Amino acid sequence: MPYPVACLVTYAASHLKGEDRFNFRIFKYPNKLIDALLQDIPPMVAFSNYMWNIDLSYSFAQRIKQKNPQTIIVFGGPNYPTNPAEQEQFLRKYPLVDFYVYKEGEVGFTALLEALTENGWDAEVAKNIALPGCHFIREGKAVIVPPAERVKNLDEIPSPYLTGVLDEFFEPHIVPMIQCNRGCPFTCTFCVEGLLYYNKVNRRGTETIERELRYIAERKHKTVHDLHIVDSNFGMYPEDEKIGDAIARIQNEFGWPEYIHVATGKNQKERVLRVAKNVHGALRLSGAVQSLSEEVLKNIKRNNIKADQLMELAQKARELGSNVYSESILAMPGDSVMSHIETNRILLDAGFQFIRNYPLMMLMGVEMSAAETREKFDMKTGYRVMSQCFGVYPFGNEEPIVSVEIEEICTSTKDLSFEEYLEMRLFHLAIEVFYNDSILVELFSFLNERGVKTSDFILNLFNGWRENFPPKLKDIFNSFRKETIEELFLSEDALQKSAKNTAAIAEYANGKHGSNMIYRFKAMAFMDAVDEIMQYAFFCARTIVNDELLYLHELEIFSIMKKHEFLDTDTVREGFFHFDFSNCGNAIQEGIWVRFFHTESQKAQINDLLRLYGNDPIGVSRVLSKQNVTKMLRTVETV
């Protein structure tokens, strides 16, 4: 749901004189905005600016200015530099942006509207008025002012839910979003909120939040099971326990939310765990370490986060039955192959259920992207199309709008070569294929009981990929490496020329380019090579544990029957085993027959997802990125 821009609307409407003169409209879908623009061009159009929509927004701005040059174009959002010289470069690169609202938007946006309405919607006159947090070009010179003061009490922003501003977005498949607090006490250099401006945490009242949750639950609980909380450290503060209580009350009454997506607190582990326990397992806990190298943490100013608490979080969360995941970022300043592998080793052995590894995105508006940081660590970058961020949008009888979003990622540093970057991306794929989603959970349990560390086994699997992988699996890894190289361009302009045309967009749309590669190749492995995954993993296990071979042989058959073509909901399998693998693996002398099948609820869930996203590798990759695979594997019962 477009919650952040709705906050701009409710704040402005409550602070402007004669607010009945204003008719604010919020658009989430490009086609609906096109329909509105074909009917009427308003005096102002304002765009949120994130890295995933800047080209789309500016493409719309160009079309609007062509149709009515007097329409005022406003941009605002975090995808904007912090250095004044770079801010001026941004304004000159995007000259159709009349005003840029810097940092938190409510105060600056409202002041801009007041100035425009009092001066006949004349942008040039308004530029002569002191506008807090608004940047622009005036008479050829850039006007760069400090950001407006932040809103200290978020209850000053009327709730977009309780005022009805978001009512039109209560549709199936649109997930509600709320914000309990703004700001972050940490100073991570790769994050927008790591800047001093956001260092103080400001809150919305618990009573308001509970009323919002009830409002949402009454309208969404039968169509959407999820809730997004956009706080940076949910569960870390005493007030968050009260919000957890409120969520629990809503859950008891409506059975919603079943899943809560949020970045949980990086410190105060015990409090985070209490909140997680209170919301009936709906909270997926994050232990996003990014790196466990002391040198890297010092370089990125993250050494005030207690890494040991994040590690303990995984162990405690498993005891509560909560899902827990961690994140790591490759190629940060000081990172090397050795330090990156060691970070993943620790995470694997800590028992995080999911470990997501990402390349380092060079975001605008963060310290990491500053010229001095790049030079100090000899950071080289490449440009690629953002996953799923492209499209061709028909515009009535006019030329369609063609848009593609581009991200810059770090591909080498003084401590990590490009070849090493490629090898670590293959390592990330190996973790996705062999570890995440617990696809080999029975084998890992067997090995752990015999003293084999998960990290040792994963590295053993990965190190043999060139020589020992079965053919289909080897082809998948070779293709992933090749496409990882091919997706990178040396400059943003070169990629724009290559990608921003209808023919290229058609190739992106059919999945040839522009998808999340890790998920796409994982989907290919699960669709075409899951038997090879099992066979290779069990082959490696037998080279380590050379007794209990009957147990391993039958466990391999059990695993394949449960997971082979697991999105095929019609096939039922049966097998005869001498061990009860679904219940502690105890030996059964006379043996048992086991049936592998999908329940009716599993069939409904899988078929709904495939209808929504498609059953090709792109569609399946989106399914795998959004759903817990273990819930889609065949159910097991003794016959």
Name all domains of the chain by residue range, CATH numbers in brackets: 3-143 (3.40.50)
Contacts of 575 (CB under 8 A, 6+ apart): 557, 558, 561, 593, 594, 596
Residue 538: the pLDDT is 95
**Distance of CA 360 to CAs 67, 409, 492, 547, Å?**
39, 5, 17, 43
pLDDT at 547: 82
Going by C-beta distance under 8 Å and a sequence separation of 6 or more, which residues neighbour residue 371? Answer: none
Distance CA 244, CA 223 (A): 22
CA distances from 481 to 297, 385, 420, 616, 635 (A): 28, 17, 12, 21, 35
pTM, two decimals, is 0.90
Determine the Cα–Cα distance for residues 219 and 170; give it in Å rounded to an integer.
7
- Indicate the range of 100-109, 115-124, 217-226 predicted with least confidence: 217-226
Q: Is the pLDDT of residue 582 over 90?
A: no
Q: What is the mean pLDDT of residues 494-513?
A: 87
Instruction: Please write down the HEC assignment for all residues of 239-251.
Output: HHHHHHHHHHHHH
Q: Is the pLDDT of residue 605 over 70?
A: yes
Map residue 81 onto helix, strand or coil. coil
Does the pLDDT at position 388 exceed 90?
no
CB atoms within 10 A of CB 634: 22
Please report, in angstroms and rounded to a whole number, the separation of the first and last CA atoms in the chain: 46
Question: Does residue 390 have a pLDDT over 60?
Answer: yes
Average pLDDT over residues 584-595: 88
Which residues 6+ apart lie within 8 Å of 624 measured at CB?
437, 519, 522, 523, 526
Strand segments, DSSP code E, in 497-583 are 573-580
Helices 206-220 and 238-254 cross at an angle (nearest 10°) of 30
* φ, ψ (nearest 5 deg) of residue 484: -65, -35
Q: What length does the chain have?
A: 639
The three-class DSSP label of residue 335 is: coil
Cβ neighbours for 637, distance < 8 A, ≥ 6 positions apart: 582, 594, 595, 597
191-208 core/surface letters (b: 16 or more CB in 10 A; e: else) = bbbbbebbeebebbebeb
- Min mean pLDDT across 150-154, 457-461, 606-610 is at 606-610
Contact (CB, 8 A) for 73 and 97: yes
Contact 67, 38 (CB under 8 A): no
Mean pLDDT of 223-236: 91
- What's the whole-number mean pLDDT along residues 165-186? 93
Q: Across the chain, what does the average pLDDT equal?
A: 92
Band of pLDDT at residue 38, cut at 50, 70 and 90: very high
How far apart are the C-alpha atoms of 637 and 273, rounded to whole Å? Answer: 33
Q: Which of 304, 306, 104 is nearest to 187 (CA)?
A: 304
pLDDT of residue 173: 81
Q: Which of 410, 436, 423, 451 is nearest to 348 (CA)?
A: 436
| Sequence letter at residue 174 | I
* Per-residue tokens: 231: 């706080």
Q: Dump pLDDT digits (tens) for 67-87.
A: 999 999 999 999 999 999 999
Segment 156-168 mean pLDDT: 96
- Cis link prior to 158 (omega < 30° from 0)? no
- Rounded average pLDDT over 343-348: 94
Between 30-44, 380-394, 479-493, 601-615, the lowest mean confidence (pLDDT) is in: 601-615
Question: Measuring CA to CA, which residue among 533, 370, 365, 355 is closest to residue 443?
Answer: 533
Going by pLDDT thresholds of 50, 70 and 90, the confidence category of residue 304 is: low
Q: For residue 3, give Cα distances in angstroms to 10, 29, 157, 172.
A: 11, 14, 12, 16
Residue 550 gets the label, from left (phi > 0), alpha (psi -120 to 50) or beta, of alpha
pLDDT in tens, 444-496: 999 999 999 999 999 999 998 889 999 999 999 999 999 999 999 999 999 99
**What SS3 class is residue 180?**
coil
pLDDT at 384 over 70: yes
**Residue indicated by tokens 């043999």:** 464
pLDDT of residue 90: 97
Q: From CA 578, how far away is CA 633, in angstroms rounded?
A: 22
Strands (E) in 482-525, as ranges, are: none
Q: Work out the number of other CB atoms within 10 angstroms of the CB of residue 35.
A: 13
Residue 215 pLDDT > 90:
yes
- Which carries the bigger pLDDT value, residue 541 or residue 305? 541
User: Could you tell me the maximum CA-CA distance found in the chain, to the nearest angstrom?
Assistant: 90
Residue 594 has pLDDT above 70, yes or no: yes
User: CA–CA separation, 137 vs 111, rounded Å?
Assistant: 18
Residue 629 has pLDDT above 90, yes or no: no
Let me know: does 116 contact 400? Beta carbons within 8 Å.
Answer: no
Q: CA 55, CA 391: separation in Å to the nearest integer?
A: 11
Max avg pLDDT among 138-152, 275-289, 534-548:
138-152
User: Alpha carbon 381 to chain centroid distance?
Assistant: 21
pLDDT of res. 127: 96
**What are 352-375's pLDDT values in tens digits?**
888 999 999 999 989 999 999 999
At residue 510, the pLDDT reads 77
The CB-side HSE value for 592 (13 A sphere, CA atoms) comes to 16
CA–CA distance, 314 with 455 (Å, rounded to integer): 16
Is 55 within 8 Å of 406 (Cβ atoms)? yes
Nearest Cα neighbor of 429 from 359, 380, 361, 487 is 359
Query: Residues of the chain with pLDDT > 90: what percent?
Result: 75
Comparing 325 with 572, the larger pLDDT belongs to 572
User: Counting beta carbons within 10 angstroms of the beta carbon of residue 321, is it exposed (0 to 12), middle (13 to 18) or buried (19 or more)?
Assistant: exposed
Six-digit token string for 213: 């949750």
b vs e for 600-623, b when ≥16 Cβ sit within 10 Å of the residue's Cβ?
eebeebbeebbeebeeebbbbbbb
The pLDDT, as a whole number, for residue 18 is 66
Question: CA-to-CA distance for 458 and 342, rounded, in angstroms?
Answer: 12
